[in-house]
Amino acid sequence: MLCITIYDVGEYQDKQADYRESCRDALVRQYKITNPMATADDLEQIRNGDEDAEVFKAKMLQRDQYIVARNRLADIQDRHMDIVKLSQSIRELHQVIFTGDIIRS
């Protein structure tokens, strides 16, 4: 027959609380890794929030959207530089053609 004492229940609850605390600590560490610019309020909200996973997912989504936007901006800047170089090449070609500096073979 199984005999569970009040001491056993208390010990189980203590271990459960320790596990919950270690999970919250791990969640805060993961959040700090993925969002190094996190404020103390953000970390406190993640640590103490009842919906830790939902907050973490929302913050990760925001971070992912930021990364996508930053990558798009870099692509646009690269294309702009290509267009500037192409425009400069066209101007140089135009100048060569209209100044008669074409080398005839």
CA distance 69 to 40: 25
pTM of the model as a whole: 0.43
Q: Is position 90 within any domain?
A: yes
Q: Is position 33 within any domain?
A: yes
3-state SS, residue 7? helix
Domain count, the chain: 1
Q: Is position 105 within any domain?
A: no
Q: What is the pLDDT of residue 105?
A: 46
Look at the block and give the residue holding tokens 């969640």: 27
pLDDT at 1 exceeding the cut of 60? no
> What number is the average pLDDT over the span 23-28?
81
Q: Is position 25 within any domain?
A: yes
The torsion of the CA quartet 54, 59, 62, 67, rounded to 10 degrees, works out to -130
pLDDT at 102 exceeding the cut of 90? no
CB 93 within 8 Å of CB 69 = no
Which domain, by its residues, includes 45? Answer: 6-99
Q: Is position 60 within any domain?
A: yes
Average predicted confidence (pLDDT) for the chain: 79
Q: Is position 79 within any domain?
A: yes
